[in-house]
Amino acid sequence: MQRTYIMVKPDGVQRGLIGKIIARIEKRGLKIVALKMYTITEDVARAHYGEHEGKPFFQSLIDFITSGPSVSMVVEGKESVKVMRSIVGSTNPLEAAPGTIRGDLSLDMGRNIIHASDSIESANREMAIHFDESEIASFTRIDEQWLYE
């Protein structure tokens, strides 16, 4: 099974959308194997968004992501990176399909509620930034036999 990193950003937390987002992830059949709420420090934010350093919007990303608590998750399942990207929708909510988290719950690219790793490499890097290996659970959900051949 593949693992990926997901974050409900401060705007999603402030709007009370954590439960709705988790429900969508679990209803799809993916398994949450790590979860924590905290306010990301500037150092963690800079590591997380490191690939954007030097771009004009970098500091505004850092300021926003450190502005309040967020919820970090490790999600596991078959093709979890691809599945989560489809659940989340386009980065720009105005282009996100109805039925996706961003398509249903957000209007502005700067306040698009959720982050989902865009590749296995990014997922591995981001999981290591936000979680120690000891914080990630390993277990089998009872319904997995009905999800996968």
Q: Are 74 and 136 in contact (CB under 8 A)?
A: yes
Q: What is the mean pLDDT of residues 14-32?
A: 97
pLDDT, tens digit (0-9, with 9 covering 90-100), for 47-89: 999 989 999 999 999 999 999 999 999 999 999 999 999 999 9
Domain 2-38+69-139: assigned CATH number: 3.30.70.141
Residues with catalytic roles: 115
Question: Could you state, in order of their start, the residue ranges of all structural domains in the chain?
Answer: 2-38+69-139
- The pLDDT, as a whole number, for residue 134 is 97
Concatenated DSSP letters for 49-118? TGGGTTSTTHHHHHHHHTSS-EEEEEEEETTHHHHHHHHH--SSTTTSPTTSHHHHH--BTTB--EEE-S
The two tokens of residue 65 are 């992501």
- The mean per-residue pLDDT over the stretch 125-129 comes to 97
| Per-residue pLDDT at 149 | 87
Whole-structure pTM value = 0.94
